[in-house]
């Protein structure tokens, strides 16, 4: 499964932007979800560091897969205010090309080990936590070799 471009997308174009259908949660609201709903939110959402909120959505973005640079073609490169948050094309994308996001910028592994968002992911969405952990270790290994 994945998300694919239906038309050409120019480098720098916004492919996703915050809208009012998204859920913005602190630890209390997120932790109050049922275990299945919480796992869904944690798998498809991200922690917006400047606002200290977890953002999740039900618009299909949970199907966007990961790639490391240079294969990644979409991503977040700097934080904006939450209501202006977006993900942009990192290069020109052709119709039919899969959208592949570089997850490193917003990874929960940029947070302290005891941060509530990281702990919720570890405890309620273990498969995604382990996946992000593998990405984190692989990227750090590549950096230490370089």
Q: What is the greatest pairwise CA distance in the chain?
A: 43
Name the nearest CA neighbour of 102 among 122, 118, 87, 83. 87
Q: What is the pTM of this model?
A: 0.87
Question: Given the structure tokens 């020109």, which residue do they identify?
Answer: 92
- Supply the pLDDT for residue 12: 96
> Residue 58 and residue 22: Cα distance in Å, rounded?
7
- Supply the pLDDT for residue 143: 76
- Order of strands, sheet of 74-75, starting from the edge strand that comes earlier in the sequence: 14-17, 86-89, 74-75, 100-101, 65-66
**In the chain, which stretches have pLDDT less than 50?**
none
- Supply the pLDDT for residue 119: 95
Name the nearest CA neighbour of 61 among 77, 78, 46. 46
- Supply the pLDDT for residue 137: 87
- Supply the pLDDT for residue 59: 84
- Supply the pLDDT for residue 46: 93
- Supply the pLDDT for residue 146: 66
> Residue 80 and residue 86: Cα distance in Å, rounded?
8
- Supply the pLDDT for residue 71: 92
Please give the angle made by the CA atoms of 45, 48 and 52, to the nearest 5 degrees: 120
Please give the angle made by the CA atoms of 45, 73 and 128, to the nearest 5 degrees: 30
């Amino acid at each position: 499964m994945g998300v694919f471009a239906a038309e050409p997308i120019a480098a720098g174009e916004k492919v996703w932007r915050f809208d009012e259908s998204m859920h913005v949660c602190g630890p209390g609201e997120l932790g109050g979800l049922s275990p299945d709903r919480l796992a869904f939110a944690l798998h498809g959402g991200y922690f917006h560091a400047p606002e200290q909120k977890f953002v999740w959505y039900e618009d299909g973005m949970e199907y966007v897969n990961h790639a490391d640079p240079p294969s990644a073609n979409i991503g977040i490169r700097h934080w904006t205010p939450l209501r202006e948050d977006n993900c942009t094309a990192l290069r020109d994308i052709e119709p039919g090309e899969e959208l592949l996001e570089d997850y490193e910028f917003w990874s929960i592994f940029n947070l302290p080990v005891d941060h509530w968002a990281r702990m919720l992911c570890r405890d309620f969405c273990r498969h995604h936590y382990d996946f992000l952990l593998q990405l984190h270790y692989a990227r750090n290994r590549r950096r230490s070799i370089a």
